[in-house]
């Protein structure tokens, strides 16, 4: 698969291509619960900052998640969902999620705009467990 590095083209990828790029970056497991993807455990892309909270459909705002985690999380914040994953006894990939939050923050800084998403994201980074 050809790597897409042009920021303008990233937003124009179809859903399957976006998923392929995210899986290539994040690996073939759900970052929230740790389960590996199979034909029964379907991969999806989960927006760190949900679209309804101002999050764009940028690859930097998407992480690999199983459909169960993506659906169950809904519009909960990453920090709140991380706590719920812990409560359920799952093994979230804290390092990868933290890196994704920082990567998204850097993308907002580089591209500009996204004031609403930036405010939401900054609040999450302040609350992120050390």
For the chain, the structural domain boundaries read 7-127
Kindly report the number of other CB atoms within 10 A of residue 54's CB atom. Answer: 15
pTM here is 0.87
What DSSP designation does 65 have? E
What is the rounded CA–CA span in Å between residue 12 and residue 67? 23
Helical spans, DSSP H, in the chain: 7-10, 15-26, 67-73, 78-87, 94-111, 115-127
| pLDDT string in tens for the chain (130-residue length) | 444 555 554 457 899 999 999 999 999 999 999 999 999 999 999 999 999 999 999 999 999 999 999 999 999 999 999 999 999 999 999 999 999 999 999 999 999 889 999 999 999 999 988 6
Kindly report the number of other CB atoms within 10 A of residue 98's CB atom. Answer: 16
CATH number assigned to the domain covering 7-127 = 1.10.30.50
**Structure token pair of residue 95:** 């390092």
């Amino acid at each position: 698969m050809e790597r897409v590095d042009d920021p303008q083209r990233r937003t124009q990828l179809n859903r399957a291509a976006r998923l392929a790029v995210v899986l290539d970056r994040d690996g073939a497991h759900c970052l929230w619960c740790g389960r590996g993807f199979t034909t029964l455990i379907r991969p999806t892309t989960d927006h760190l900052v949900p679209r309804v909270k101002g999050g764009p459909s940028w690859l930097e705002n998407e992480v690999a998640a199983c459909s169960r985690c993506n659906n169950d999380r809904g519009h909960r914040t990453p920090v709140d969902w991380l706590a719920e994953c812990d409560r359920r006894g799952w093994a979230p990939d804290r390092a990868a999620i933290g890196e994704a939050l920082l990567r998204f923050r850097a993308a907002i800084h580089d591209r500009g705009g996204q004031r609403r998403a930036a405010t939401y994201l900054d609040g999450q980074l302040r609350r992120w467990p050390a």
